[in-house]
Amino acid sequence: MNLEKWEDASINKFLLIILFAFVVISGLLLINSFHGDPSIYFIYARNIANLDFFSYNPGEFSSGSTSPLWAIILSPSFLLPNSILIIKIFCLILTIFAFFIAYRAAINITGSKLGSTLGLIFLIYYALIPCLLCYETPLTIILLSILLIINKKIISGESKAGSFIWLCIIWSLIPLSRPDAIAVVIADALLLMFFKRHESKKLFIFILIFSIALLPLALYFTYSSLQTGMASNSSYCRAFALQETAKQFMGISFSLESILALLSYPMILFLIIIVWELSQKYALYRKNSKQSPNARNTAKSVIEQDYFFVLLAFLISGAYFVSITVISPINSMDRYIIPIIPFIIVAIAKPLENLFIKFKANNWIMLTFFLILFILIPFGKLAGIVAKEWSNHFDFETITEKNIIDYVNNIAEPNSFLLSYEVQDRYYLRDDIDILSLDGITDGKVATYLSNSRIDQFLKKYKPNYWLANDAVYYRPYLQKSILKNVLDSMTFLKKDTIRIADITFIKIYTNPEPERQSFAHSKYLFKIEYPK
């Protein structure tokens, strides 16, 4: 090994040590920090451990778990004591493994260790917090990384049955781990079919295994439709929430945030590199395809493989940005684009390594800018995010509002219904008390009342006995026009604890003594709700 290669290898090892040490330290710092959304998985997982599959309220089917596969994977933890701590430790270990396999997949395809490490920095930048806070993110990264490895085998000409079986399995698991990642499966299938379009046998196999792979998701959605009237409670109601905050132009909803994110750091850098690489690889691919078959056999595999993965990254990234900008506009991009990052790493790894080597040899000023853009800025930003999460310190009892739920458990009649916006509050609730989701993500029952804000009709139909009131009535548009906001406004203006609106009586029976905290819409009041006889 010459001196330059030894230096590059040493730099790569040093960066890897720093990266994984940072992951471990962050995981330990956030071992007792939680978010509301991923905590919902724990309720489904605990019910699965009790053989009550895919339920939120005990005994009632719910497709409110965004990732049914993740709920299943977490469920064994609830057969053991200290299950929440076990899940946090498991997520830290799985996070380390997910980043490692993403790194190995990039090396396997590109052969670039340093470039793969530089790409890994951005995967960690986007995915670390969701991974450590128990979202389905590490599972998704692992499945996508395996998919990349399988793709390399197939595009390189391997025809072993095992590769196609694994492709079918991974295609089927990806949308069960994250439904929006179905876009990855579709793009991958179409591109494989395109590249193997002249091999009729393989083309037939791709069509067959693609059809088989979608069966589990189709069965899950069909069963959910029969039970709840919609394919996915979570997906439908979250999509409505995203549409509420979207901007409008000529009748089209769009996300300004995702457009700005695409045109800002670091996405604009990725876009420039991928478009440049795509033009270069396409030129080589076209040149190679014009040669005689015998002349291009030796180079064909490498050129075709390089073009395939850059094109795959471009197509998947494009599909995702169209989805989150127009089809289902989002207001916070980082967690939603994680499925495209492993593909971007593969596309940019070699160019990043080449740029680093070039600048190191010839231009220290450009090298300094390179290090700032691709190492210091993402590290600095991520360190700030970890520090903020650590300082917020939302422990599990805080995020599930155990104090106010304990009060509900003490005073509620048997078989009561509790209306709540923060559905992770189910965790400490008595089994005989059901939660009615105010935004519908766990049961979908409010779905038909969302667009017209007729929450009074919703209440009269389902008759919840209690309501945990929080600030959602002020920041969710459909609730701003609802009876529930009128109740809180009337209570404040009239200074009364009993408010009667639309023949429904709301009686404030408890005020949460916990202080309000930034970035958490905790429940302020507990109301008893009475209806006309």
Identify the pLDDT of residue 281: 84
Higher pLDDT, 331 or 101: 101
Q: Which long-range contacts (CB under 8 A, 24 or more apart) does 80-83 make?
A: 83/42, 83/46
The whole-angstrom distance between residue 466's C-alpha and the CA centroid of its chain comes to 32
Cα separation of 432 and 450, whole Å?
27
Identify the pLDDT of residue 101: 98
Amino acid identity, position 10: S
Cα separation of 378 and 55, whole Å?
39
Higher pLDDT, 163 or 231: 163
- What percentage of the chain has pLDDT greater than the value 70? 94
User: Is 440 a residue whose pLDDT tops 60?
Assistant: yes
Q: Which two tokens stand for residue 228?
A: 């709840």
Q: Which two tokens stand for residue 302?
A: 């490498």
**CA 168, 210, 105, 198 torsion: positive or negative?**
positive
User: Is 162 a residue whose pLDDT tops 70?
Assistant: yes
What is the DSSP-derived secondary structure letter of residue 424? G
Q: Rounded to 10 degrees, what is the CA torsion of 35, 36, 39, 40? A: -160
Higher pLDDT, 522 or 459: 459
Q: How many CB atoms lie within 10 A of CB 219?
A: 10
Identify the pLDDT of residue 450: 86
Identify the pLDDT of residue 284: 81
Mean pLDDT score, 243-247: 70
473 sits in which H/E element: helix 472-475
At residue 3 the predicted structure's pLDDT band, cuts being 50, 70 and 90, is low
Identify the pLDDT of residue 520: 78
Cα separation of 269 and 430, whole Å?
51
**What residues contact residue 288 under an 8 Å CB cut-off, 6+ apart?**
296, 299, 300, 303, 304
User: Does the predicted model carry a pTM greater than 0.85?
Assistant: yes
Chain segment 353-404, per-residue pLDDT in tens: 999 999 988 888 999 999 999 999 999 999 999 999 999 889 999 999 999 9
3-state SS, residue 118: helix
Half-sphere exposure of 242 (CA within 13 A, CB side): 25
Closest residue by Cα to residue 349 from 160, 103, 165: 103
Identify the pLDDT of residue 427: 97
Chain segment 414-427, per-residue pLDDT in tens: 999 999 999 999 99
Cα separation of 315 and 131, whole Å?
25
Mean pLDDT score, 245-252: 70
Mean pLDDT score, 422-436: 96
Higher pLDDT, 321 or 466: 466
At residue 65 the predicted structure's pLDDT band, cuts being 50, 70 and 90, is confident
- Domain boundaries defined on the chain: 3-392, 400-530
Q: How many CB atoms lie within 10 A of CB 434?
A: 21
Cα separation of 60 and 54, whole Å?
8
Q: Is 407 exposed, middle or buried (0-12, 13-18, 19+ CB in 10 A)?
A: middle
Among 55-64, 127-136, 153-162, 254-263, the minimum mean pLDDT is found in 254-263
Mean pLDDT score, 28-47: 96
